[in-house]
Amino acid sequence: GAVVSQHPSWVICKSGTSVKIECRSLDFQATTMFWYRQFPKQSLMLMATSNEGSKATYEQGVEKDKFLINHASLTLSTLTVTSAHPEDSSFYICSARGGLAANEQFFGPGTRLTVL
């Protein structure tokens, strides 16, 4: 149980385009989802927290107009990187919280974004 998937697992896009990453909780209802960014050989940086049906809460320094987060249902959250640039290239990881393990986060496998 408690499986979280992400799609796509990797994506390459041109500078200026937008990319959408999906995060799904497969076998539980995720009341809260988290989006992290990880640079090579570095730790995870929390970008934002989203609760189903409400606006995401962004961490300080994260541009909400650039990283659009939607949590439209209890099993799906999306992160859209708008007008992507090479410096947005990174590993994006989502996690989900909910179900019986109320305070534990379950992580997706991550999405590798490369912006050319």
Q: Residues interacting with other proteins, by CB under 8 A? A: 6, 32, 34, 41-44, 46, 49, 93, 95, 97, 103-110, 112
Tell me the closest approach of the beta carbon of residue 27 to other proteins, in angstroms: 16
Task: Give the burial class of 85: count Cβ atoms within 10 A of its Cβ; 0-12 exposed, 13-18 middle, 19 or more buried.
Answer: exposed
CA-to-CA distance for 99 and 102, rounded, in angstroms? 6
Tell me the closest approach of the beta carbon of residue 106 to other proteins, in angstroms: 8
Considering the complex, state which of residue 17 and residue 42 has its C-beta at the smaller distance from other proteins.
42
Tell me the closest approach of the beta carbon of residue 83 to other proteins, in angstroms: 26
Q: Is 86 helix (H, G, I), strand (E, B) or coil?
A: helix
The phi and psi torsions of 86 (rounded to 5 degrees) equal -55, -30
Q: How is residue 104 written in tokens?
A: 């534990």
Considering the complex, state which of residue 71 and residue 97 has its C-beta at the smaller distance from other proteins.
97
